[in-house]
């Protein structure tokens, strides 16, 4: 069996961290999200992969090449215009049954395997109970058979979401040809599946048993980082100086150094060539990329900090995502809790969205610099290449390529 992975999308809800890469390339614990997906697929015995690529495809192709390094055979199909998941799958044109996965969804190997091994009908779909079904394709199931599938329903249909993992027979290609544009203006695979149901085909729904994350929003990216970190074992390839306290699991990459006086509460991931400390406090579910610097009196918690970024002195970063090549001036602080303790809101595609989290920090793009004593309020975003002058308090989102300075009136006596 071959696997088709849909990786052409841009991930606008994750801006600004996706301004320079497709969301399937977002690093999670040292590997792009897509690599975690490919490793799980490979464990099922599937070796031949078709990657549907589009946005920033060069970076995907550069990284995975022909797949030989992962023990896979990868072929690429370019989706020139993003017209929806049905159009993307339709490009694969296969004549035997095949597995399909969304390239932005983490599914465990056990669940993929279970769906592949139990595929006996025209289509098998992985489903998952969710709290907010209106954000998904929702599936109505009777005795294990899918009776209806409704994309992003406005009224409650069921709390079982389509998890974005399917095994299709070639019958799906006929249904894709008959698929009309949805009210969202896309050719959606859920419409094609609905056509198969109307034509009397048997569609099986299998509930996933393990944690599943769809990396749509920044807070889902943090959740996925947590899921992967939780499953890791300690591996120390770098140097740990004397008087460092380590509790829980830690992965420390080659040539990295944890300097004296540092306190680490795992699970924590630290990439290669990174220096932490002296006297830093790294709390659980933090992932630090390669070639980062985290210095004296810096506290990091539940955050993703990407390659070549420095948080060198007297800073706090919690529940946040920081891009590549950033530099935080001494005293830069991130707020992650509202004073009224209500859930934090974040602007996603111009809409103020409830993150559902009591604690959520900021999202910062690549190449951002902050001056001394910058404060970033909870739920705020700073676009790539922006510079924030000393003493600025970030109460609103800052677009990319912006230089923000604070005006102050001084009284001279
Ligand atoms: C999709 C499903 C939804 C399901 C959810 C699970 C559709 C129409 N909806 O919604 O039923 O509950 O996943 O997470 O499929 N992509 C392409 N080309 C395109 C469009 C998308 O390659 O033209 C890729 C994206 O890069 C992404 C995946 O397909 O990896 C899913 O697309 P996305 O638009 O995120 O779908 P959802 O709204 O999450």
The atom of ligand 1 lying closest to the CA of 84 is: 23
pLDDT digits (tens, 9 = 90+) for 175-211: 999 999 999 999 999 999 999 999 999 999 999 999 8
pTM above 0.85, yes or no: yes
Res. 360 pLDDT band, cuts 50 70 90:
very high
**Ligand 1 binding pocket, CB closer than 6 Å:** 6-9, 52, 79, 82-85, 87-88, 102-105, 136-137, 151, 161-164, 188-190, 214, 216
Question: What residue owns the CA closest to ligand 1's atom 28?
Answer: 102
Are 308 and 327 within 8 A, CB to CB?
Answer: no
Determine the distance separating the centroid of ligand 1 and the alpha carbon of 304, expressed in angstroms. Answer: 24
pLDDT digits (tens, 9 = 90+) for 251-269: 999 999 999 999 999 999 9
Name every residue whose Cβ is closer than 8 Å to that of residue 311 and which is 6 or more positions away in sequence: 292, 293, 294, 295, 298, 300, 305, 317, 322, 328, 332
Q: Of 374, 317, 381, 376, which is closest to residue 346 (Cα–Cα)?
A: 381
pLDDT digits (tens, 9 = 90+) for 18-76: 988 999 999 999 999 999 999 999 999 999 999 999 999 999 999 999 999 999 999 99
pLDDT computed for residue 157 by the predictor:
85
Ligand 1 site-directed mutation target among 84, 140, 164, most atoms within 8 Å of CB: 164
Determine the distance separating the centroid of ligand 1 and the alpha carbon of 103, expressed in angstroms. Answer: 8
Separation between Cα atoms, residue 378 and residue 188, nearest integer Å: 35
The residue annotated as part of the active site, out of 36, 63, 119, 313, is: 313
pLDDT computed for residue 156 by the predictor:
86
pLDDT digits (tens, 9 = 90+) for 361-380: 999 999 999 999 999 999 99
Determine the distance separating the centroid of ligand 1 and the alpha carbon of 163, expressed in angstroms. Answer: 10
The atom of ligand 1 lying closest to the CA of 6 is: 22
Q: Is 313 a catalytic residue?
A: yes
Q: Exposed, middle or buried: residue 407 (CB in 10 Å: 0-12, 13-18, 19+)?
A: exposed
Ligand 1 site-directed mutation target among 3, 6, 106, most atoms within 8 Å of CB: 6
Q: What is the mean pLDDT of the chain?
A: 96
**pLDDT over 90 (residue 132):** no
pLDDT computed for residue 225 by the predictor:
97
């Amino acid at each position: 069996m071959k696997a088709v992975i849909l990786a052409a999308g841009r991930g606008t809800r994750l801006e600004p961290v996706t301004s320079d890469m497709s969301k399937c390339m977002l690093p999670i614990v040292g590997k792009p999200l897509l690599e975690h997906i490919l490793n799980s697929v490979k464990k099922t015995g599937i070796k031949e992969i078709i990657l549907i690529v589009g946005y920033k495809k060069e970076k995907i192709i550069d990284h995975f090449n022909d797949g030989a390094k992962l023990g896979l055979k990868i072929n690429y199909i370019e989706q020139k215009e993003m017209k929806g998941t049905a159009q993307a799958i339709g490009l694969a044109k296969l004549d035997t049954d095949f597995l399909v996965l969304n390239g932005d969804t983490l599914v465990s190997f056990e669940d993929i395997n279970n769906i592949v091994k139990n595929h006996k009908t025209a289509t098998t779909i992985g489903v998952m109970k969710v709290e907010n079904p209106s954000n998904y394709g929702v599936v109505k199931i009777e005795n294990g058979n899918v009776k209806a599938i409704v994309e992003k329903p406005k009224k409650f249909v069921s709390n079982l979401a389509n998890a974005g993992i399917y095994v299709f027979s070639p019958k799906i290609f006929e249904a894709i040809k008959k698929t009309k544009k949805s009210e969202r203006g896309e050719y959606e695979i859920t419409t094609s599946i609905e056509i198969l149901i109307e034509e009397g085909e048997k569609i099986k729904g299998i509930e996933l048993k393990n944690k599943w994350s769809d990396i749509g929003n920044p807070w889902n990216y943090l959740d996925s980082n947590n899921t992967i970190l939780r499953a890791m074992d300690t591996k120390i390839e770098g140097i740990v100086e004397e008087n460092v306290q380590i509790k829980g699991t830690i992965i420390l990459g080659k040539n990295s150094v944890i300097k004296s006086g540092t306190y680490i509460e795992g699970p924590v991931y630290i990439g290669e060539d990174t220096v932490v400390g002296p006297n830093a406090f790294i709390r659980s579910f933090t992932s630090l990329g390669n070639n980062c610097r985290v210095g004296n009196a810096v506290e990091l918690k539940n955050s993703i900090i990407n390659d070549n970024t420095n948080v060198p002195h007297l800073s706090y970063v919690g529940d946040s995502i920081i891009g590549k090549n950033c530099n935080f001036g001494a005293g830069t602080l991130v707020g992650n809790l509202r004073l009224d303790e209500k859930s934090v809101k974040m602007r996603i595609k111009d809409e103020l969205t409830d993150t559902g989290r009591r604690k959520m920090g900021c999202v910062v793009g690549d190449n951002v610099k902050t001056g001394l004593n910058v404060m970033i309020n909870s739920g705020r975003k700073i676009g790539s290449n922006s510079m924030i002058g000393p003493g600025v308090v970030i109460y609103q989102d800052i677009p990319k390529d912006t230089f923000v300075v604070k005006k102050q009136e001084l009284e001279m006596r």
